[in-house]
Structure 1
Amino acid sequence: NKRYGKKEVPFTCEVSPNHLFLQYKDWERLGTFGKMNPPLRKRCMQHLWNGLNDGTIDIVASDHAPHTESEKRTDIWDAPAGVPGVETMLPLMLSAVKQNLIPLWRVIEAMSAKPALIFGLDNKGMIREGYDADLVLVDTRHIQEIRSEQLHSKSGWTPFEGMDGIFPEMVISRGEIIYDGEIACKKGRGEFVHGKGYRS
């Protein structure tokens, strides 16, 4: 729960990497590819980092919108809003840890533990007996530039091109290695996860 005026009310707040790593000046580079909701602003970034660090903002969410280059390459009024971001979200946040923008424990909380709590995913979000073994292994010394040709989204591009990222070396889902330098599972392995509703 959070205070709203004199009352305590159950609501949550999220931020996307779009608004933590992209600024108003990126419009010049991105053009219609940078159209998103809410739009990029001049003086928001540091306030968002502050809110994420102090817990005012609960979670980091991808806001993944994998519009293709052909869909985005039109005038500003017809271009769909949103950018791809699910695959670059963790690499960007780990890079932010290396830059001392946020502590690692807070990234884990905002991207794993807290979302599981909010959506009522009882066996997710922590390393604990009885929980699903959903893990990523990373080498924080291995920083690489984000390149669209190395990503797997149908969009074929990324607004974070050339930025530093720390990508997982291995991904384990429900105890099974699904990525080990390359995708190591078959399509269709994923399952829809039913939450139990909002919890604060």
Structure 2
Amino acid sequence: MSKILIKNARIVNENSIIEGDLLIDGEYIVEIESSISPKNVETKVIDAEGSYLIPGVIDDQVHFREPGLTRKANIETESRAAVAGGITSFIEMPNTVPQATTQELLENKFKIAAKSSYANYSFMFGGTNDNLEELLKTDPKTVAAIKLFLGSSTGNMLVDNEEVLEKIFSSTKMLIAVHCEDEATIQKNLQKQKEIYGEDIPINLHPKIRSEEACYLSSSKAIALAKKTGARLHVFHLSTAKETELFTNKIPLEEKKITAEVCIHHLWFTDDDYDKKGTLIKWNPAVKTLKDREGLWKALLDDRIDVIATDHAPHTIKEKNNVYTKAPSGGPLVQHALVAMMKKHKEGKISIEKIVEKMCHNPAKLFKIEKRGFIKVGYYADLVMIDPSSPWTVNKDNILYKCGWSPFEGTTFHSKITRTFVNGNLIYNHGKFNDKIKGQRLQFNR
């Protein structure tokens, strides 16, 4: 690998923006100064005039569907889309086929990624009602976290035995990430609507079925159990204003034992969008009211919510076009997450420094990821260059997801990801990819 010198960049890091140069040597950032001269003729020079340079985004919640569900997506296609969207590291969920609920099945996913992933990667181990012994074998230095589903999104991965749940919380020192929706509440609400509408329930009733009550009941129980056992808990994809009251901003992130995340779709859409978007914006938890969206934004900006993620979960368009009870929940987001947040910046909703904090710095801190998430000498050169004044519109021709559709189709973004570096390699360059170099397995300082 030759040296790469990025000049005249607006470098965004740790709540500041500085104009300067950055030198990459091999996999690492080796120098950051106001001005750096090329060391030799072999140094590749890139002029970033007018562009922001940020750390690579770390997406802590994706579903890339491999193995077993590759008609929807796979690690190669979705990591490629992720890198085009400025995501240089991802953490993938265990609900594939087979589910990653043994150490052998988990390692099989790592082997697939080593051969095919454009981005750096890790995977979560899936907890169930009966695999505690296997769960406790998980290596905290090489595996991101334990994932528990406390709602029905994933069928038989639902952990609904309270005694088992307490044992898991009490037994592991690893971070436990949870999907929180109360199953009994959801089933009661669903049955009520089925009695009225049968299978073809209007999509705008989705947030009534997967309700505020279902979310709050489950989140509050998980948090109470974490406090009781001392477990390290991370609550995925908050969707209600009420849930944000369960979290604190009184202590630094490094000292928090209980943390929270919000996803792009819950910051972007509201229940008013169901009429236009239909099941394309059917997610679990559901997109809810304008009041909920405003509450999530408030908690994000005052640091009760720590991380922005995607919950990227593609399905085929044929699957999504089914009636309500048969249309799966989830949608593709990794290619458009960062530019969506940049649009919110342009609207005055959030600073670029805050975007970097929530999408780059905080996931690295929260999961204790080694040498990533910041622009620092000695850190891996996972970097993203953003042109803030280059409008483009999402359409079928520029969507990179294997499923071929996006909930953002027709949306015009004002910023464009022009270059993405992964471990010092220029993997994405103005629409072109380096297919020869793969990402690395994330390591954790635990």
- Give the aligned residue type for 2:320: K
CA distance in 2, matches of 1:77, 1:196: 43
Aligned counterparts, 1:1-200, within 5 A = 3=248, 10-42=257-289, 43-165=291-413, 166-186=415-435, 189-196=438-445
TM-score computed with the length of structure 2 as normaliser? 0.41
Matched residue type, 2:271: Y
Q: Distance in 2 between matches of 1:26 and 1:78?
A: 20
Q: Identify the residue that residue 142 of structure 2 maps to in structure 1.
A: none
Q: CA deviation at 1:192?
A: 3.2
Q: Residue 156 of structure 1: SS of its match in structure 2?
A: coil
Partner Cα separation in structure 1 for residue 311 and residue 323 of structure 2: 22
Larger Rg: 2
Aligned pairs, how many? 194
Matched residue type, 2:276: R
Q: Over aligned residues, Cα RMSD in angstroms?
A: 2.0
Q: TM-score, normalised by structure 1?
A: 0.89
1:24–1:41 CA contact under 8 A, matched in 2: yes
1: CA distance, partners of 2:365 / 2:315:
30
**Greater percentage in helix:** 2
Distance in 1, matches of 2:345 and 2:264, equals 13
Q: Distance in 2 between matches of 1:116 and 1:88?
A: 21
Cα distance in 1, alignment partners of residues 336 and 283 from structure 2: 17
Q: Determine if contact 2:371/2:379 at 8 Å carries over to the other structure.
A: yes
Q: Secondary structure at the match of 1:177?
A: strand
Deviations 1:98-137 (A, max 9, x none): 1110011100000001101111112001111110101111
Displacement of 1:143 after TM fit?
A: 2.6
2:396 and 2:302 map into 1 onto residues whose CA distance is 32
Question: Which runs of no fewer than 5 residues in structure 2 stay unpaired?
Answer: 1-231, 233-246, 250-254
- Please state how far the C-alpha of 1:190 moved relative to its aligned partner: 2.4
* Bigger strand fraction: 2
C-alpha distance in structure 1 between counterparts of 2:385 and 2:280, whole Å: 31
Alpha-carbon distance between aligned partners in 1 of 2:322 and 2:426, rounded to the nearest angstrom: 40
Query: Counterparts of 2:436 and 2:258 in 1: how far apart (Å)?
Result: 35
Q: What 5-or-longer segments of structure 1 have no aligned partner?
A: none
TM-aligned CA deviation for residue 163 of structure 1: 2.1
Q: Residue type matched to 1:143 in 2?
A: P
Q: Displacement, 1:144?
A: 2.1
- Larger mean CA deviation between 134-143 and 157-166 belongs to 157-166
